Amino acid sequence: MNEIKCAVAMNQIGYPINGQKTAVFNEKSSGFHIEEEGTKRIVYRGKTSQPAFDRSSGSEVRKGGFSELAKPGTYVLVDDEGNRSTPFALEERPYGELHNGLLKAFYYLRCGETLDEKYAGEWGHKSCHTKLGVVHGEEGVYLDGNGGWHDAGDYGKYVVAGAKAVADLLLAYEMYPKAFVNSIPLPESDQVMPDVLHECKVELDFLFKMQDKRSGGVYHKLTTRHFPGLSIMPEDDLDELVFSPISAAATASYAAIMAFASRIYRTYDLSYADQCLRSAEYAWEWILKHPEAGGFKNPADITTGEYGDGCLFDEKYWAAAELYHTTNQEKYHSAFREYSTESFPKCELGWADVGGYGTISYLRKGKTEENQTLYDSLQEELISEAERLLSICENDGYGISLEEKDYMWGSNMVLMNRAMLLLIAMEWSPKPEYVKAAAQHLHYLLGQNTLHLSYVTGFGTHSVMKPHHRPSVGDDVDAPVPGMVAGGPNRNLNDEIMERTLQGKPAAASYIDHEDSYAGNEITIYWNSPALFVVSYFNQK
């Protein structure tokens, strides 16, 4: 699977008619033609660029564009060596199914409810993790933590991870509502509230349960003490659930996402919006009362995902931005100003570096007479980050913004986060180059990469087949649960099978489609979410 031998790297789903259309070739292909699938009629002939060395893939590559080809259809590209691409579509909006699939993945990750055949097809399972969880360090205190989404290939539920994922989904909906007009459908679909908001509500309803009602602080995570075996189905994972201690990271990202949600849900459900805001403000009070609270460390008896974080200014900055955006209150504005003077990345969208969400929220609220200086400097920072990414793309063989060092655990999140940032920068600096660059990132995710592999399960001719995802391993269906974005190449080879099989590979080829590869082939909610954001842009009606 890792060694698909063909010489043409392309987006295996297809290209929008009016979009950027490119393929990447090996050093030998100096030209190519495109034929209609079926009739084999040649509709386009093109040349490729001179070969150039691409550091990340460790090889010479050529590029070839065919943006002029604008007739809808299904085609195959053939280089002058006779190498054929997989079939691809040219359509006005080729990513409709992919968009649904990426959102549906969240449904498949739901915890605490039966996924029945009607919605889950062959990938259904019984309800799971429905027992109360014990509060760590408080013997005999049990709480309900039902619902939400499993984080990933494991069944843990982690607040900072959930906050990033919901943020991407709400932002996609807020910025590109026209991408969400079709129903998936979900059990809750009602033709009133868009499905994406129904799906996010599943996670938000769970997040409420993570807030300590006595203090406003938010438990870091709800997991078993250790990861279950790889073939354990959710309903068979019966070890005791534990609420890990409250953390400042969880509490601040909780405040941020609840304040954001309060704005979005107000149109549909006033009392829900009020509930979100009240609990965001309660979490904020906890933050003010615990200025010294540091990053989270796993208690000695717990070994599930840590989601540790050495810098919490960004979470607080994000929370202040969302609370200010939603309430317009000066106390949040001044807190935001204060955190903005601290040094941390203001444009990152990771699970640990959330400064970008604060910046975006603040900028989207708008410029006023009294915030001009800060507004302008944040806007400038965002645009200069987009420019920096663009210049990396221009020098990359596959046209993306990842440098060798960026191929780490979850490199596909780095990839999609950066495409997101380029698209968001469009709001303040509408340069077509940003959209083209973002499109290249999506083409990479869907097969225009050195492994000629689509990193989204179930989408593309050669896609990930063996994700580190417990239900996909444990069920008796050959195909993995569809619509899930794998972590991707990781030059740090952080798991045993990568270490054993991938020594010496170039960064972008440091990947194996094997179910044991948790550091390259796991899936998570916050790798799907930025991909959904990016596809939303290209799926607008």
Task: Compare residues 88 and 307 and give the one whose CB is closer to ligand 9MR.
Answer: 307
33 is catalytic: no
Q: Which helix (H) or strand (E) holds 143?
A: strand 142-143
Question: And the tokens for 283?
Answer: 């979490």
Active-site residue, from 322, 385, 475, 522: 522
Asked if 152 interacts with ligand G3I (CB under 6 A), we say yes
- The identity of residue 134, as a single letter, is V
Stretch that binds ligand G3I, among 49-57, 83-91, 152-160, 454-462 (CB under 6 A): 152-160
Between residue 295 and residue 334, which ones bind ligand G3I under the rule CB under 6 A? 305
Quick check: 430 and 358 in contact, CB under 8 A?
no
With CA atoms as reference, report the closest residue to 218 among 191, 246, 195, 190: 246
Between residue 129 and residue 168, which ones bind ligand 9MR under the rule CB under 6 A? 152-154
Question: And the tokens for 442?
Answer: 């999506």
With CA atoms as reference, report the closest residue to 317 among 262, 361, 277, 275: 361
CA distances in angstroms from 395 to 31, 389, 398, listed in the order given: 21, 10, 9
Q: Which residue is nearest to ligand 9MR (CB)?
A: 154
Q: Mask: binding to ligand 9MR, 220-259, rule CB under 6 A, as x and -? A: -------x--x-----------------------------
Quick check: 525 and 165 in contact, CB under 8 A?
yes
Q: Which helix (H) or strand (E) holds 313?
A: helix 313-327
Of 78, 98, 109, 111, the one binding Zn ion by CB under 5 A: 111
For the CA atoms of 233, 235, 239, 244, what is the dihedral angle to 10 degrees?
Answer: 90
Of 151, 168, 322, 406, the one binding ligand G3I by CB under 6 A: 151
Of 158, 518, 527, 533, the one binding ligand 9MR by CB under 6 A: 518
Task: Compare residues 160 and 534 and give the one whose CB is closer to Ca ion.
Answer: 160
522 is catalytic: yes
Stretch that binds ligand G3I, among 252-260, 386-394, 416-424, 518-526 (CB under 6 A): 518-526
Active-site residue, from 136, 198, 468, 469: 468
Pairwise CA distance, residues 272 & 265, whole Å = 7
Pairwise CA distance, residues 465 & 477, whole Å = 11
Pairwise CA distance, residues 379 & 425, whole Å = 9
Pairwise CA distance, residues 485 & 467, whole Å = 9
Quick check: 243 and 139 in contact, CB under 8 A?
no
Asked if 522 interacts with ligand G3I (CB under 6 A), we say yes
Residues in the chain: 541
Report what 314 binds from ligand G3I, ligand 9MR, Ca ion, none; CB cut-off 5-8 Å by kind.
Ca ion
Task: Compare residues 226 and 289 and give the one whose CB is closer to ligand G3I.
Answer: 226
With CA atoms as reference, report the closest residue to 433 among 455, 401, 408, 464: 401
CA distances in angstroms from 215 to 222, 258, 279, 287, listed in the order given: 18, 16, 11, 10
Asked if 492 interacts with ligand G3I (CB under 6 A), we say yes
Task: Compare residues 410 and 460 and give the one whose CB is closer to ligand G3I.
Answer: 410
Long-range contacts of 328-336 (CB under 8 A, 24+ apart): 332/284, 333/371, 336/362
Asked if 123 interacts with ligand 9MR (CB under 6 A), we say no
Q: Which residue is nearest to ligand G3I (CB)?
A: 305
Task: Compare residues 64 and 145 and give the one whose CB is closer to Zn ion.
Answer: 145
Report what 230 binds from ligand G3I, Ca ion, ligand 9MR, none; CB cut-off 5-8 Å by kind.
ligand 9MR
Q: Mask: binding to ligand 9MR, 299-338, rule CB under 6 A, as x and -? A: ------x---------------------------------
With CA atoms as reference, report the closest residue to 357 among 377, 373, 336, 371: 336
Residue with token string 């990447």: 24
CB 156 → Zn ion: shortest distance, Å?
A: 9
CB 464 → Zn ion: shortest distance, Å?
A: 22
With CA atoms as reference, report the closest residue to 420 among 526, 313, 311, 307: 526
With CA atoms as reference, report the closest residue to 424 among 460, 382, 456: 382
Quick check: 469 and 49 in contact, CB under 8 A?
no
Task: Compare residues 145 and 305 and give the one whose CB is closer to ligand 9MR.
Answer: 305
CB 437 → ligand G3I: shortest distance, Å?
A: 22
Report what 506 binds from ligand G3I, Ca ion, ligand 9MR, none; CB cut-off 5-8 Å by kind.
none
CB 136 → ligand 9MR: shortest distance, Å?
A: 19
Active-site residue, from 348, 513, 514, 515: 513
Task: Compare residues 126 and 541 and give the one whose CB is closer to Zn ion.
Answer: 126
Binding site for Ca ion (CB under 5 A): 309, 311, 314, 352
**460 Cβ contact partners less than 8 Å away, ≥ 6 residues apart:** 12, 13, 86, 446, 447, 453, 454
Residue with token string 């939603």: 326
DSSP-derived letter for residue 297 is -
Of 225, 494, 501, 516, the one binding ligand G3I by CB under 6 A: 494
Asked if 148 interacts with Zn ion (CB under 5 A), we say no
Strand partners, 115: 125
CB 164 → ligand 9MR: shortest distance, Å?
A: 16
Asked if 234 interacts with Zn ion (CB under 5 A), we say yes
Question: And the tokens for 527?
Answer: 């790798």
CB 354 → Ca ion: shortest distance, Å?
A: 6
Task: Compare residues 355 and 474 and give the one whose CB is closer to Zn ion.
Answer: 474
CB 320 → Ca ion: shortest distance, Å?
A: 14
Of 66, 357, 407, 409, the one binding ligand G3I by CB under 6 A: 409
Residues that bind ligand G3I (CB under 6 A): 151-152, 154, 156, 305, 408-410, 492, 494, 518, 522, 524
Active site positions, annotated: 468, 513, 522
